[in-house]
Amino acid sequence: MRIGARGVTRRFGALTANDSVDFSAFAGTIHAIVGGNGAGKSTLMRILQGMDRPDSGTVIVNDQPVTLSGADAAFGLGIGMVHQEFMLVPGLTLLENLVLAHEPVKAFGVVDKAAAMQAARKLEKETGVHLDWSMRVDDAPVHVRQILEILRLLHRGADVLILDEPTAVLAPAQIRDLMALLKRLRDEGRTILFISHKLDEVMAVSDDITVMRSGRIIRSMAAAATSKAELAELMIGETLLDIVAHKSEVGETVLKAEKISVVDADQVERLKGISLSVAKGEIVAIAGVAGNGQEELTSALTGLSRLRKGRVELCSVDVTREGIAARRAAGLAYLSPDRAAEGLCLTASIVENAIAGHHRRKEFLSAGFLKLGRIRHHVDALLDSYSVKRAASSLPVGRLSGGNQQRVAIARELDGDPACLIACQPTRGVDIHGIAFIHKCLLEYRDRGGAVLLISEELDEIITLADRILVIYNGEICGELARGSDVEKIGGLMLGGVR
Amino acid sequence: MITILSASIGRMRSGGTWLSSVVKTLAPLVLALLLGAVILAVAGHDPFEVYRLLVAESFGSAKRVAATFAASTPLIFTGIATALAFRAGAFNVGVEGCVNVGGLAAAFVGFTFVSLSGPVLLPAAVLAAVIAGALWMLVPALLKSRLNVDEVVTTLMLNFIAVSLTAWLVNGPLLAPGSANSATPIVADAARLPKLMRGSSLNAGFVIALGLVVLYWLWDRWTALGYETRIAGLNARFASASGMNVPGLLFRMMLLSGAIGGLAGGVHALGNVFRYVSGFSPGYGFVGIAVALLGRGNAWGILLAALLFGALSTSGATIQLFSDVPIEIVNILQGLIMIFAVVRFSNIWKVRRT
């Protein structure tokens, strides 16, 4: 065994990211690790690469238990990783990045460009790829950067390459090239571990496949011995239904999107003409694996980004040209998926967070001055009704636990009963009790006549809450299902139309 | 009075009370004094004697207190001007430029429209300073709020332009007739800010400065605009997602910052110098950055910090006369205080970036 783990457990607070994981990868193989978000794949890879240390258990390298003190120690054993966010210096050329931190030098510390170029040519010969080495990283397209990252690892002598979702940012033709490169490297005897959501490429390229779910290894097997359908089933598992929600009365349409398309900075189409509608008294969920257009859809519907093509209606008013302030005024509420950076202002007080966006209501404002006493009473009553545990409302909201922070965010968004709520990952990083409470809040809001668009990567959550489920894949809605649909069918659609 | 203030400040503020903000403001001072004492001892002076002299020279008599207040006046303005922009998340280092254009504008009105009576001329001159300062900040404010151009670069560079532009004007078109040095004519008596104490340069500008501190406190603690500005400065993404107009806030606060910087120059011109001369501001705008940082953007903290720097500059000027302590030791103390103040700031910076 080239690299592996024995009984590795890693906890982050109440969350067990890896739960006694046993993992083995052999030299000369491509080993895919698949699983939903939060399954523990990235944590395991970070442990194998020395960036993180297990609470218990051990990493195995060449059949020997080792303790990796850091990424450098892992490099010393031939283990390197390409992260989702590339670690390149934008202002330097590809060649400079290739040799960075291990530059060949001449006298007086001058970088030996000729020797660096020689090393680059040698790598080109080995791998069969050709790059314009004088290009600056800023100017290099994303697939070139990716290849550069891989070549950097080879340059430093790594023969175990760990790739975290390498294809997430690539177009189909580039994915094929990358896969060809990975196969070539494998045939030369290297070991490649890669994380992916995309079952097609996993089946096409890997020799072994390990499925993870909720921090555990569900099964490891040879790729030849399984199928896409079986993988999908293993990834999704059984669902727990702890809240039984019934269908409620559906009223008129509140939120309506018509054929919205979004193109990103690299001219890649991220949303391909999505239409959807949400009515009073229903929860419509967008189900899908991360990165299939959920973020773009959220920005387009909330008005955080300008929309080029398509139309958005809120309570029968065209708000396509409006920003988020006007859409909020028209009855929209938005629960951000990124609580720390967008959903809350962690350094501001609990009161300041809970009142944000409501502070210009007539009852809280006179002649430009805030009625702080009234605001304080209002916020305290509001947060008490959401059972937010806090020592004082004047403390920074960042001092609350994750679950209580999320309660503050939800309390703020549902304050004053908006017409429509776009709730993104409402239970991310929240413990099991918090999850049940947040689900109850969303259902109660729906029953009061609220319209909810739920964007979540948690299939359990969607099954529990949604009255209708829209499955998003590759920027398109690829299916609509009613409450009570077969879980495996949803999972199949999420993974690109299996069965 | 103080108990009422402290009770109400604590309300919406994240954690800090009046007392704790004073303690946090004073911490860099205490650290600087300790380190300064070591330096003095090494240099062969008695630190306690030097510090006693410094205190006596800045607060020892009514006259010395008046001198300290007078020296603090421009620093209160520039401190608040800088703090306003900081609150919105803009690191405005261009207040120095606003002080210069504001000072020249006030002086220009003061020596040109001499036929106007006091109640008209003085406010007109002050207003000219305010407008000049705001206009000077217009381009960086537009660039920052619309195109996200780094305001540190634009405002810093504009300082050099302001100093050079005003220097050229007072050497050419606005040079006082018959004057050899680069200075404008003297402003009319009617345009001068009234003195508060005979034989001292303390003038009504100090009262305006105190009024501005109270206004700033009201704005910061009690108004919707102050609240939105604070939130936008702490987390712009959150503020935008909550429906606040972050570019608009940035734009307005940078203009306001420029206006108050201009006011600093106007008050200095109409209360102390009575004209605009080359070398008009000995870096009031830059010391204002230290004042804002040391005062942690808090109204009373800024007031204390401005008084402290005012006291140091007053006592520094006279301490040489009564002891063998060189003025450089006071400059070292000032520098140390600034360093400790900036250490605090780097913490805030870290939080904001994550």
pLDDT tens-digit series, residues B97-116 = 999 999 999 999 999 998 88
Asked if A220 and A243 sit in the same domain, the reply is: no
The closest alpha carbon to A21, from A260, A225, A210, A177, belongs to: A210
What pLDDT is stored for residue A276 in this prediction?
95
Same domain, A169 and A104: yes
Residues A351 and A482 in one domain: no
Would you call A405 an interface residue with chain B, using a CB distance cutoff of 8 Å?
A: no
- Backbone dihedral region for residue B87 (phi beyond 0: left; psi -120 to 50: alpha; all else: beta): alpha
* Partners of B277 in beta bridges: B183
Specify whether A283 is located in the same domain as A364.
Answer: no
A209 lies in the same domain as A304: no
For B62-76, how does the pLDDT look when each residue is reduced to its tens digit (9 = 90+)? 999 999 999 999 999
Split into its structural domains, chain A has a count of: 3
* CA distances (Å), origin A145, targets A140, A166, A280: 6, 11, 47
Indicate the class that CATH gives domain B17-353. Answer: mainly alpha
What is residue A244's three-state secondary structure?
coil
- A324, A329, A372: residue with CB nearest B241: A324
Q: In this predicted structure, what is the pLDDT of residue A308?
A: 82
Question: d(Cα B138, Cα B154) in Å, to the nearest integer?
Answer: 11
Residue A240 pLDDT: 45
Q: Are residues A208 and A278 in the same domain?
A: no
Q: Does A343 touch chain B (CB under 8 A)?
A: yes
Going by C-alpha positions, the residue among A456, A118, A67 that lies closest to residue A294 is A456
Q: Are A85 and A132 in contact (CB under 8 A)?
A: no
Spatial CA neighbour of B128 closest among B108, B113, B100, B114: B108
Which CATH number is A29's domain given? 3.40.50.300
Q: Which amino acid is it at A409?
A: A
Give the three-state DSSP class for B73. helix
* Partners of residue B286 on adjacent β-strands: none
Q: With an 8 Å Cβ cutoff, are A370 and B237 in contact?
A: no
A150 and A32 co-located in one domain: yes
The pLDDT value recorded for residue A112 is 87
Domain range for A171 is 3-236
Q: Report whether pLDDT(A470) > 60.
A: yes
Structure tokens at A100: 């960075």
Whether residues A186 and A274 share a domain: the answer is no
Contacts of A57 (CB under 8 A, 6+ apart): A5, A6, A7, A8, A9, A20, A21
A388 three-state secondary structure? coil
A348 with B14: Cβ contact below 8 A: yes
Contact A32, A194 (CB under 8 A): yes
Helix axes B246-268, B62-87, angle to 10 degrees: 160
- Which strand ranges, in their side-by-side order, compose the sheet holding A317-318? A269-279, A253-263, A309-314, A317-318
Using the 3D structure, point to which of A204, A236, A268 is the last residue of a domain.
A236
Most confident of A267-281, B31-45, B63-77: B63-77
Whether B15 has a pLDDT exceeding 50, the answer reads: no
Local confidence band at A133 (pLDDT 50, 70, 90 cut-offs): very high
Distance between the two ends of chain A, CA-based, in angstroms? 35
> CB contact, 8 Å: B225 with chain A?
yes
The share of chain B scoring above pLDDT 90, in percent, equals 62
CB of B5 less than 8 A from some CB of A: no
Taking each helix axis as running N to C, give the angle between helix B246-268 and helix B224-234, from 0 to 180 degrees, rounded to the nearest 10.
Answer: 110
For the ranges A254-263, B169-178, B332-341, the one whose mean pLDDT is highest: A254-263
The predicted pLDDT at position B344 comes to 57
Residue B219 has pLDDT above 80, yes or no: yes
Cα separation of the two ends of chain B? 39
Exposure string over B139-171, b if 16+ CB within 10 A, otherwise e: ebbbbbbeeeeebeebbbebbeebbebbbebbe
Residue A419 in this model has a pLDDT that exceeds 50: yes
Structure tokens at B255: 């203009």
Q: What is the DSSP string of B33-57?
A: HHHHHHHHHHTT--HHHHHHHHHHH
pLDDT at A48: 94
Distance from CA of A224 to the nearest CA of B (A): 45
Domain boundaries, chain B: 17-353
**A336 in any annotated domain:** no
Give residues with Cβ within 8 angstroms of B158, minimum separation 6.
Answer: B94, B97, B136, B139, B140
Please tell me whether residues A317 and A295 are part of one structural domain: yes
A338 in a domain, yes or no? no
A462–chain B nearest CA distance, Å: 24
Task: Please tell me the distance from the alpha carbon of residue A176 to that of residue A194, in angstroms, as a whole number.
Answer: 15
pLDDT given for residue A102 in this prediction: 81
pLDDT in tens, A341-350: 899 999 999 9
Q: What mean pLDDT is reported for chain B?
A: 87
| A208-213/A30-34 β-pairing | parallel
Say which of B222, B224, B243 has its CB closest to residue A325: B243
| Phi, psi for residue A31 in degrees, rounded to 5 | -120, 115
Q: How far apart are CA A95 and CA A100, in angstroms?
A: 8
Give the pair of three-digit tokens for residue B229.
């500005």
Question: Average per-residue pLDDT in chain A?
Answer: 88
Mean pLDDT value of segment B303-319: 89
In a domain, A286, yes or no: yes
Half-sphere exposure of B157 (CA within 13 A, CB side): 7
Please indicate, yes or no, whether residues A326 and A434 belong to a single structural domain of this protein.
Answer: yes
Asked if B12's CB is within 8 angstroms of A372's CB, the reply is yes
Sheet holding A56-61, edge to edge: A15-25, A3-12, A56-61, A64-66
pLDDT of residue B81: 98
pLDDT for B10 equals 36
Nearest CA-CA partner of A39 in A193, A166, A211:
A211
Contact B223 A369 (CB under 8 A): yes
Q: Number of CB pairs < 8 Å for A and B?
A: 92
Distance in angstroms (rounded) separating the CA atoms of residues B27 and B32: 9
Q: Do B14 and A344 touch (CB under 8 A)?
A: no
Interface check for A349 against chain B (CB to CB < 8 A): the answer is yes
Could you tell me if B239 lies within 8 Å of chain A, comparing CB atoms?
yes
A240 touches chain B (CB under 8 A): no
Helices (H), A128-245: 142-155, 172-187, 199-205, 228-236
How close is the nearest chain A Cα to the Cα of B244, in Å? Answer: 7
C-alpha pair distances (Å), B325 with each of A70, B56, B312:
53, 14, 14
User: Which residues in chain B touch residue A373, judged by CB atoms under 8 angstroms apart?
Assistant: 11
Task: Decide which of A236, A251, A271 is a domain's last residue.
Answer: A236
Tell me: do A182 and A79 sit in the same domain: yes
Under an 8 A CB cutoff, do B227 and A346 touch?
no
A302 and A386: one domain? no
Chain A neighbours among B 205-224 (CB < 8 Å)?
221-224
CB-based contact (8 Å) between B42 and chain A? no
pLDDT at residue number B353: 41
User: What SS3 state is found at B162?
Assistant: helix
B39, B329 in Cβ contact below 8 A?
A: yes
Residue B323 vs residues B14, B44, B53, B56, B327: alpha-carbon distances, Å? 46, 13, 9, 13, 10
The pLDDT of residue B14 is 38
Phi, psi of A191 (to 5 degrees): -110, 130
Which of A221, A236, A251 finishes a domain?
A: A236
DSSP element (H, E) containing B69: helix B62-87
What CA–CA distance (Å, rounded) separates B152 from B164?
19
A460 against A329, higher pLDDT: A329
- Inter-chain residue contact B241 with A365, CB threshold 8 Å: no
Pairwise CA distance, residues A286 & A413, whole Å: 19
- Report phi then psi at B188, rounded to 5: -60, 150
pLDDT at A49: 92
The pLDDT > 70 percentage for chain A reads 95
Structural tokens at position A118: 């020689």
Rg (CA), chain B: 20
Q: How far apart are CA B146 and CA B229, in angstroms?
A: 17
**pLDDT attached to residue A138:** 85
Question: In this structure, what DSSP letter does residue B180 have?
Answer: -
- Which of B10, B11, B231 is the closest to A356 by Cβ? B231
CA nearest A434: which of A466, A412, A396, A405? A405
Residues of B in contact with A368 (CB under 8 A): 223-225
CB-nearest to B223 from A346, A349, A370 is A370
Return the SS3 of A312.
strand
Average pLDDT over residues B192-200: 89
